[in-house]
Chains A and B, each alone.
Chain A
Amino acid sequence: MHLVVSNLGKTYGNRQSGSRVTAMKSISFSVKRGDIFTLLGPSGCGKTTTLQCVAGLETPTNGSILMDGEVVFDQGTARMVPANRRKLGMVFQSYAIWPHMTVFENVAFPLAHGTRRVESGDIRRRVLDALERVKLAEYADRPSPHLSGGQQQRVALARALVHEPRLLLLDEPLSNLDAKLRDDMRVEIRQLVKSLGITTLFVTHDQVEAMSMSDQIVLMRAGRILQVGTPREIFLKPRSRFVADFMGRSNIISGRVTAGSGAVETAIGLVACDVPSEFRAHDPVTLVIRPQAIQILSERAPYASLGNLVTGRVSSLNFLGETVEIEVRCGPLGLRITADPYLDLSIGQTISFVLPAERCVVVGPDEEERPPHAASEPAEDEPSSARIGVENERVLP
């Protein structure tokens, strides 16, 4: 393991006065060499504090951090390697390009003034190499304020990589770019980092960015880790309603585990699914079903062999081109389905569809949101809405 963070915690405020704020608590994860590892979560979840602790810009209150087997922070033995001796590279949210220097001087700074200085002949070669890598070689002598946002970002990247750091830290590097540029940079950064084989710790609040760039994702909330896994695991097998919701739209259906297990009793009937062993019969649970998971049946398909068959009436259609979003009313519930745009449907039509058992994820109630047994039909809150039970209107940034 290249980076090992164990039991990291950070508390702000005065020990005496008692007014303390916990920014993060018991954060543990480890990163494999060469991986792009992402800390994902809404603002205030502690992801930036974690990154700053790894960088050495913040001192954690407890825990330890190992890089390449070297202890850079350990509260127990009171050891702290200062940020400038950790051999890191970092791209900041604001890029932090020094306005009083040229592009060349910015990139040369780690080599000229860092802890491991390099001979001046080497500096020139390595800076130009780094600029070449981010396609800015011809801008070397330009004053850095005369650059566009995207170019500044590339300079920041070149500066973070020029001294061959053992770990690259990226703090929301894409949040200040416009949408088109952001998509390009996402691919470019991943390719660059992968080609250099450099281990990267990436912080973002955008789940699309996280999924497209990462090998591993840690999803955080309120200073704690909710789930660790590959993008695929986190998206398809969320372990809590919050994770499901944060990663993308979902159909959220409340229900209770049936006596025989292997199914959940819901307002649309019995849904067969893989119920984790932690739940017992009659436990209130939530079913999470991605709109993409639902399979609409054509009229001629053989019905009988399939489980979890549901019938409903189309209440709205939203044709997006690449997909079509369908809202279906099934008794007291509304479900959202993302389907093939070539399907010929109309509002009011009755359709049948299947909730494949292996795609239905059972999660317990979120700890902080509601006490156990208080789970209720989401439908009761807004009976007039056509989209009953679909709580997935996350506003994407």
Chain B
Amino acid sequence: MTDRAPHWPQTVGSEQFSLGASLQIWTRRLLFALVGFLLLGPLIILLLTSVTPPGQLPLQASALTLENYLEIFTRRGTFTLLRNTVVYAGSSVILGMAVAIVIAWLTERTDLRGRVVVRILMFSWMAVPPLVFGYGWILLTNPGNGALNALARAVFGLSSAPFTPYSAVALIAISGLGLVPTCYVMISGLLRNMDPSLEDAGHVIGASRLTSMRKITIPLMRPGLLSASIYLVMGMVQTFDLPLILGTTAQYPVLSTRIFLLASPDGGLPNYGAASAFGVVLLVLALGLMWVYFRATAMAERFRIVSGKSFRPKRSKLGRLSFAAYAFVCIYFLIMLLPLLILLWTSLFPFYRVPALAELATANLSAYARVLYEPTVQRALVNTALLVGISSTSVMFLSCLISWFSVRTASASSKILDVMAFLPTAIPPIVMAIAMLLLFMRSPIYGTVWVLIIGHVTIFLPFGTRTMNGALLQIHKELEDAATICGAAWLVGLRRIILPLVWPHALNAWLWVFAHSARDLTFPLMLMTSNNVVLASTLYLTWDYPDQTGAAAIAVIMVGVLMLIVVPVQLYSARRAGET
């Protein structure tokens, strides 16, 4: 019906015009104030700090200056820094995409057995912190006594170690492999939404499977792959943990690690001015990538082949190739599993020793008892539970409300609210973290876990609102209108009608935020005090101490707890998806 334009009652004249609407209006004002504060507060303080003379604090400075920018652009190495950042992000995304394309094609388009397991493993794997992988790989490949090096020396009789984790290549390889699950999730979604009859059409006119893949499937997917790649490059440019633990030793600095070291150096005073100026540079870089991303997704829209009808993809028979396919998938999972296994091994002994059967006799769990009795670890466990639980729940609570306003009401302020909630996507977490540090440095919440929660809510809000916008758009407005006419107040309608209907989407998004909040190291490290340690920062500190066994035990505990939560929820939603 053309005369059913979506519209929302607006106040005409005075505030008491509508009793029901005024609760909504106040809710929206609150959201506006909250999101505005979360977004603009840190950004303004960041910009101010970057133009504050060195050695002075923002808001107390006598004059504004461009000195910080001049310094970072005249300093030697800034160009190398930018080049490293781009090379690191680009190469690791290419590696991750290449592996993920093969696995996604195998699980979505072939008769590979156990593809459901592969899917669940991939989704769950996203929850494993990159930090854990990094430490695992250091134990596996360090030149002194890394397990793989020891193996290579024993088997091939080499005198020097063939592997090292401390090189640009290793950093890129480890980051790329860790990126595969995320790439997989994006690509399998693309493949799922593409009508296989287009490939069949190529088949019918006599093209071989390889030709139809090269000439039809790949070109059709290209825009989608491109926009997914740009999105991931955006993420990798901002990534911080692996470049910190591997790249600094490898003398391979990138923008994010440079910002961290300027803001919290091992010795000397923090140079917040230069760190903020670098932060602004990184922000500009991220905004540029975001612009390219929007251009690419606009192009992907043009190519989008979603007919609305549901199609069951025809699966190619692997036949003789199935052995190669299994080998590929198994090797990948073995590579992913190795770092976890070596951490498990290390946690069983007082000191790291090269894996061997004979050692098993002395294995014990004393490291676990030791770290669990440590007050820092206990505090970290409590803080982590608070951080991930409150962040993910608040993000979803805010996202549901913000998305409701942006989908169901047509007023300009709802649109602005929606855009404001999306903007943090362009702000690299390291930039946001340093901005939060500057903003809250002299407030009582600095040093508490609450400052971390505020940071995580801000950076994960875009993901939450994107997901909930999509979910709410699928729900017919009349379902909600019906509740209103039946006499239900606004919040009753939201709770009884909307929430149950969007529940599966909300649960998945909650889990995503939960896992990403747990694995993040940026905020815990940037804003760390002795009070607000969480598992990720404790892991980093323990490793740095150095206490490899303790760190290994903490890593194992962390992965175990995450899997205990993530896997059952994955199984639950896989079963739910199977039902409908």
Contact = CB atoms under 8 A, between A and B. Distances in A.
Nearest to B21: A82
A394 to B, nearest CB: 19
B7 interface: yes
B10 interface: yes
B266 interface: no
Interface in B11-43: 12-14, 16-21
Contact of B487 (A23, A48, A163): A163
Interface string A162-198: 0100000100100000000000000000000000000
Interface in A66-114: 75, 78-90, 92-94, 96, 98-100, 109-110, 113-114
A73 to B, nearest CB: 10
B478 A23 contact: no
A116 B2 contact: no
Contact of B4 (A48, A96, A115): A48
B1 interface: yes
Given A43-B2, A116-B487, A92 B482 contact: yes
B496 A59 contact: no
B476 A110 contact: no
Interface in B205-233: none
Given A45-B3, A99-B501, A109-B496, A85 B9 contact: no
Most buried by A among B4, B10, B476, B489: B4
A159 interface: yes
A93 B501 CA distance: 20
> Main secondary structure on chain A at its contact with chain B?
loop
Contact of A59 (B10, B483, B485, B487): B10
Contacts, number: 119
B9 A59 contact: yes
Nearest to A99: B501
A337 interface: no
A78 B484 CA distance: 21
A379 interface: no
A110 B486 contact: yes
Q: Size range of the interface on B?
A: 35 or more
B59 interface: no
Nearest to A169: B485
Interface in B375-403: none
Contacts of A79: 17
Nearest to A77: B13
Nearest to B483: A109
B482 A114 contact: no
A49 B492 CA distance: 25
B500 interface: yes
B488 A109 contact: yes
A109 B2 CA distance: 30
A93 B18 CA distance: 26
Nearest to B14: A78
25 contacts: A43-B2, A44-B1, A48-B1, A57-B484, A57-B485, A58-B9, A59-B18, A61-B12, A78-B14, A80-B9, A80-B18, A82-B20, A83-B20, A83-B485, A84-B20, A92-B481, A98-B497, A100-B500, A100-B501, A113-B486, A114-B487, A114-B488, A115-B489, A116-B487, A169-B485
Given A47-B3, A90-B482, 15 more contacts: A23-B3, A43-B1, A44-B3, A45-B3, A57-B484, A59-B12, A84-B486, A85-B20, A86-B485, A96-B482, A98-B497, A113-B487, A115-B487, A156-B482, A159-B486
Nearest first, the 3 closest Cβ-Cβ pairs linking A and B are A114-B487, A82-B20, A59-B9
